[in-house]
Chain A
């Protein structure tokens, strides 16, 4: 199985600040990586697919980069609505696997 490791597990940031979350795969997944945002009691919401493609309707302050085994999600200017938990997910192969999540706190 491909292991996905996110860091950090939790981060504290301020409104207007820049946030970077890292996701590492245990083997190459090319660019088959997605990022989701999840708020308590809600289903995950797709932000980024194919490592860097912005899902329709997602604000441009979200961006993704990387390929192979190392990926990042960046929020350029944190907004109050962005405080949530973020997950990466590989879809290179079965079994699908998620990172353990990064909680972005105030």
Chain B
């Protein structure tokens, strides 16, 4: 079963960018939805964007359009999420997750451990 391991916590200044990595081990992921979800302190889950690497098309939540880029690297079994123009309200735990069904939009059965991104001057 695939395990997802994310990069470590970071503190960023407002206006800067951050890239969070998620590496899959123990299985393949290219045919499955890979998604990013964030959770601000004390708040609920918010979908950021996702991709099925086989298809290559990336979907983003409207509120992040233009500020976020999700990429995958099949050679390293990794997916990255870059968020630019950071603001204090981007402070959150960012999770990657892998879909359960091949080649279609899916629910998520494997999750990374989460990466805390703190935006502060």
Contacts and interface: CB of A to CB of B under 8 A. Distances in A.
Interface of A: 1, 32, 34, 36, 38, 42-46, 49-50, 55, 87, 89, 91-101
Interface in B50-66: 50, 59-62
A94 B108 contact: no
Interface string B102-121: 00011111011110000000
Interface in B75-121: 95, 97, 100, 105-109, 111-114
B114 A91 contact: no
A9 B27 CA distance: 37
Contact of B107 (A34, A43, A95, A100): A34
B59 A44 contact: no
A95 B61 contact: yes
